[in-house]
Structure 1
């Protein structure tokens, strides 16, 4: 039977010619001209002296909108080129050009933010009440407030310059060491050297002997490099702490909470709700151990399958399932997914030469999106495809909003994607062909809940304790191992037989320089989307309009205001989080019932 949908995406409608596109080069030339124009305008920006003195600021914002779209367009296209063919050397050269353009734009924004700070407060407030500027009031206030909370602009620029070969260099050092690591492995009589990523994939192997063997070898590899990784993590934290000290920031959670546009009280309410409802997940871990013939699970058993689910779904069937299930909740979601499949916005072909993983990227000037993944017909592939289409739909409903108001934080970035994935995962469980398939699919769902409620909680607990000790001096590798193991014991309620003390070195998120505490936003996004899903199940008829309105506001509101306005809930209280957690508990209860002896 001929396939209806082509699994290779079409990039020609954006810029024709791939990495040698003359259309792209012409577009970049226009962008560079506009960047120069923006630089001149910002440097020559006369500070407004009265509230109706909006002309110059209107002109700058108009140009900001244009340049932001252009940079987004180029960035997305280059990302697609490098993903679809890792051997495209001309695309790699374009990555350097993209970085150059982004750095120039960031420098302009830094100067503009400092000028915002210099405007008299009464004049500033009056400016934002003008009809042409009111739509930008949230983002402009946020930029001004953040600039006021930092060092003088010259010192911040110096800090950023020094960070290239200091702060960021430690993160790059970590990447360089990990890239050269691996383990020796033998399979079917063939000896080979596995990369860290290849080895980690074996931790979900059905054979426990294989899981234990690879875990032991990975742990040995991480321990051999522990002294180097203790250097990277100590110096990354040290740079941050010194930066905070000079900015007079006393709380290490200030930056990650501010970055995610949320209150610290909300964060604590979420973790408190999770900590109060871990008992069912401990019961799941015990039952899973029984099914695997163990008294207790070890760390390397957490991803072990409890049953065989070899059912495959071809690409056309996956498209049909996703569109059909989306339509149960939102005709808009279904129509968007149909458009994405019809217009070849998805790169899903299972071929060599592609980068691993999946993503969704938006083209703000073309108002299109592109989804990247490698589809091989597994249930996990179907979930990933739905997940990325959820991201695409989020962008789709925001396309007519000012580009400056489309920049949503990491914790709400996963809202639409997780919601879309949940719709399809739930349908898969309900439509399972056998009891064993249902058990396998439920186990896969619950594994995700355990990861968000326990694994990520352990990361948060570890990082909190580590920063407390790092303030007093360097923390040894042995002590880091101890802190990690205790955090895991606490987060998993002592439910495991063995833990992973070297996790602080093997988890990339502890060594990236984007933002510290790169952990809790994942749990927030997961639960926030589940709260929306619970609301959808209760109010199907009025849901779509409410959902679109919420997504459209994600880039121009704090998360507490967003939830209050669109869901009528308070995120700084436990009730919302408990309602979301209950959906996960329902999965556990069904799993326990189906697996009773």
Structure 2
């Protein structure tokens, strides 16, 4: 395609944060923003205290109605400023894990987040017992219709909450309890060093967890094996402390949801705006693909010349491979070229985001593990964090995160409460971006190149149809054990080995026993069960992709509108409106995953040629 945007592709794999707040961890502008934000939140607290309790009103109109409208609009503006500051602090921290001042930066947002949670408690208290008539007057106001779903959720949460006094106490305790445990995990895991072979293969070197994980995609089995063993040693060394952290996180979560009258899934399901029946139907369909994915893994083992895949073989490249790494510039061009056939708007945004250095992809020590996309709503910008190791998997990760960025960019002009997108639907654009890249490449590929691309696609099938369901069941098992006893590293390792062993069946010779410790998603305190939405996004985006194939290029505009509506509708409403589908039925999910069987059959045929 023609690249019209100056600076694309960029050779620089580091992002530019100075346009947000110059100076990094020493930014004076950031300090000023924090000070101003704290003052304005104090004013917001005073404002909420003057709001009339809705249950005490027979009707809502005139001055009381305008008070509520002004408060909600001001709350949105402050939420955006808090998110901007929090995103900056986190971005500085994850790229400078060896600098104590940078690592402490996110902690400066603790009191702000605590105050905002306290405001939410006060708002819920004023919503409790509101009549249908009064509530309708609020959500039907011309300025608030756009965020009616969010307001309905406040009303629901108000009825499920503990007393306002207990909810306020929970907010204060969580600041230095539940959420502090999560931050401790981030700090410990970010500083872990893994011993792996050096480039010459004659000695060893120390790398970050993210760099070591990249080696699990290395073409050389011995390199993968030693990287896996190095990771095992590193995580086992920290296992006692990490088990204590996880035990405390789950214990705290259990205390709260028990007091609120729910179970471990109540809050995650509500946060993801998805019904329990939908998740159950989704996993019922996913389980039906275990046998065919085991067949794929057996075929891959044959190709690699082993009886069965070891855990560190799952991401091994096959087909047309080379020791030569994919350059960052090559990866950018490849992604943009594939996406352009579907949507010029999407590919144009990708070019601009990359040219403007919105991506941190440098492969170096001193960075946190993992990858993410975060928004800066005041600046109208987005940032992507990852470690690009020059592997095909790294190309897909970049495509995935660029999809997230595009989703956020499409919603940049909406209010904060309209941009509150549940994680499952948030995975739609990102996973669709991956599908677009791999599908376009597959259509052009032949022979060994096609084998490689099919393998990469099926690796994701294993991840979302076997791995994610296992994570979900492991987290539920953690809660079940924690109900009666403490969790320790031995129990967690045993649970992991058992559940993942069943999930992968005969496909692998063994699983990763320290997965419970290395998977940071288990330690995210703001949103438990940070797993099932990935399978949702994977399958839902495949359904969207199939519709796009049927309807042609014009469907790209429909997809854009779908993405904009992800903060306004529930998952089931999105499915009904845009796909005419009932997400609570397993048939929808079976059909979305159906092409996996075709991919496995084609992969096996290529292996046996």
| TM-score strictly above 0.5 | yes
1:26-425 aligned at under 5 Å gives the runs: 26-48=32-54, 49=57, 50-53=59-62, 54-83=65-94, 94-117=105-128, 119-171=130-182, 188-192=201-205, 199-212=212-225, 215=228, 219=232, 229-249=242-262, 251-307=263-319, 309-310=321-322, 314-348=327-361, 357-375=370-388, 377-425=390-438
Q: 1:575 is matched with which residue: 584, 587, 600?
A: 587
- Output the CA distance in 1 between the equivalents of 2:224 and 2:23: 46
Q: Report the CA distance shift for 1:175/1:105 in structure 2 as closer, same or farther (over 3 A).
A: closer
Q: Report the CA distance shift for 1:264/1:232 in structure 2 as closer, same or farther (over 3 A).
A: same
Q: Report the CA distance shift for 1:537/1:312 in structure 2 as closer, same or farther (over 3 A).
A: farther
Q: 1:428 is matched with which residue: 441, 445, 456?
A: 441
- Output the CA distance in 2 between the equivalents of 1:316 and 1:39: 49
- Output the CA distance in 2 between the equivalents of 1:514 and 1:531: 29
8 Å CA contact retained: 1:442, 1:587: yes
Q: Report the CA distance shift for 1:583/1:225 in structure 2 as closer, same or farther (over 3 A).
A: same
| 1:331-389 deviations in Å (ceiling 9; x for gaps) | 32123223324544444566776655543332212322233445565433433332222
Deviation at 1:120, TM superposition (A): 3.9
Q: Report the CA distance shift for 1:360/1:177 in structure 2 as closer, same or farther (over 3 A).
A: closer
8 Å CA contact retained: 1:530, 1:583: no
8 Å CA contact retained: 2:272, 2:424: yes
| 1:147-174 deviations in Å (ceiling 9; x for gaps) | 3212112112212333344434554565
Q: 1:533 is matched with which residue: 539, 545, 563?
A: 545
8 Å CA contact retained: 1:183, 1:195: yes
Q: Report the CA distance shift for 1:244/1:372 in structure 2 as closer, same or farther (over 3 A).
A: closer
Q: 2:457 is matched with which residue: 445, 454, 466?
A: 445
Q: Which moved more, 1:518-527 or 1:257-266?
A: 518-527
Deviation at 1:416, TM superposition (A): 0.6
Deviation at 1:89, TM superposition (A): 6.7
Deviation at 1:405, TM superposition (A): 0.8
- Output the CA distance in 1 between the equivalents of 2:153 and 2:119: 17
Q: Report the CA distance shift for 1:320/1:118 in structure 2 as closer, same or farther (over 3 A).
A: same
8 Å CA contact retained: 1:47, 1:118: no
8 Å CA contact retained: 2:358, 2:384: yes
| 1:96-136 deviations in Å (ceiling 9; x for gaps) | 43333333323222222222225444322332233333222
Deviation at 1:407, TM superposition (A): 1.0
1:444-463 aligned at under 5 Å gives the runs: 444-463=456-475
SS of alignment partner, residue 403 of structure 1: coil
8 Å CA contact retained: 2:455, 2:603: yes
Q: Which moved more, 1:280-289 or 1:381-390?
A: 381-390
- Output the CA distance in 1 between the equivalents of 2:256 and 2:460: 35
TM-score normalised by structure 1 residue count? 0.88
Q: Which moved more, 1:567-576 or 1:536-545?
A: 536-545
| 1:556-576 deviations in Å (ceiling 9; x for gaps) | 221111111111111111222
Give the total of aligned pairs.
Answer: 594
Q: Unpaired segments of 5 or more residues in structure 1?
A: none
Deviation at 1:549, TM superposition (A): 1.5
- Output the CA distance in 2 between the equivalents of 1:501 and 1:26: 46
- Output the CA distance in 2 between the equivalents of 1:367 and 1:177: 32
Deviation at 1:534, TM superposition (A): 1.4
1:552 to 2:564 alignment: yes
SS of alignment partner, residue 108 of structure 1: helix
8 Å CA contact retained: 1:489, 1:495: no
8 Å CA contact retained: 2:396, 2:434: yes
Q: Report the CA distance shift for 1:235/1:579 in structure 2 as closer, same or farther (over 3 A).
A: same
Q: Report the CA distance shift for 1:465/1:546 in structure 2 as closer, same or farther (over 3 A).
A: same
Q: Report the CA distance shift for 1:115/1:453 in structure 2 as closer, same or farther (over 3 A).
A: same
8 Å CA contact retained: 2:562, 2:574: yes
| 1:237-263 deviations in Å (ceiling 9; x for gaps) | 3332232222222x3221221221111
**Alignment root-mean-square deviation, CA:** 3.2
Q: Report the CA distance shift for 1:346/1:511 in structure 2 as closer, same or farther (over 3 A).
A: closer
Q: Report the CA distance shift for 1:73/1:485 in structure 2 as closer, same or farther (over 3 A).
A: closer
8 Å CA contact retained: 1:454, 1:492: yes
TM-score normalised by structure 2 residue count? 0.87
